[in-house]
Amino acid sequence: MHEQIETQKKRFGSLNLQPDSSKQTEGKVKYEGLSFERYRKTVAGVIYQNNEFLLVKKLHWGNCWGFVQGGVNDGESLEAALLRELREELGVKDFGTPTDTKIRWVRKFFEETLAYYKDRGNVGKILSYFVIEYLGRRNKIRLGDDLYDKKWRGKDEVISYLHSSEKPIAEEIIRQLEMDHVIK
């Protein structure tokens, strides 16, 4: 297991761990004996509509595009956290049922993010990826305080907008959606 982790760190600069290898106890997340006490539990929503995906820019992401994401509060389920974050970040609640992709990504924060969240004491995050369909009208989306831009892009184009470390995750999610005939 540790050899796989080291290989993945070299390849992606992070860890992509499946949830069946994790345990959470008293706010501490452990993966196969590794402790990530200072990593924030986070959800990421891969939002799609009509074969396009919503990408956003956050103030502390520099010039990078990504999927809507946010932290999980104490006592909150991953699904509830996702729906809350979508309402806060996009100002809408017209979504289908979230589907857990079972993809988990453990990564350290970039310097901009560390500076932005300096008072929280976290050094990274554990992302849980969900896919969710947006059922509303796109012009109803109103970006929250953390976001400053958005765009919808097709599956072939969306990958080119993402940070290189997130591309393999997005490719896998898109592959899953194609296999399940959710997108074409």
At 63 the three-state DSSP class reads: coil
User: What is the average pLDDT value for the chain, to the nearest integer?
Assistant: 80
pLDDT at 31: 46
Cβ atoms of 51 and 183 within 8 Å: the answer is yes
**Strands in 50-179 per DSSP E:** 52-58, 68-71, 99-108, 124-133, 147-154
> Tell me: the pLDDT tens digits for 101-132?
999 988 776 666 656 656 566 667 888 999 99
pTM, entire model: 0.75
- CA angle 181–20–106, rounded 5-degree value: 85
> Tell me: the pLDDT tens digits for 44-99?
999 999 999 999 998 766 678 999 999 999 999 999 999 999 999 999 999 999 99
CATH superfamily of 2-179: Nucleoside Triphosphate Pyrophosphohydrolase (3.90.79.10)
Model confidence band, residue 4 (pLDDT cutoffs 50, 70, 90): very low
pLDDT at 128: 95
Lowest average pLDDT, out of 4-13, 81-90, 119-128, 152-161, goes to 4-13
pLDDT at position 6 over 80: no
Cβ atoms of 47 and 132 within 8 Å: the answer is yes
- 10 sits in the region (left: phi over 0; alpha: psi -120 to 50; else beta) called alpha
**In the chain, domain spans:** 2-179
Model confidence band, residue 8 (pLDDT cutoffs 50, 70, 90): very low
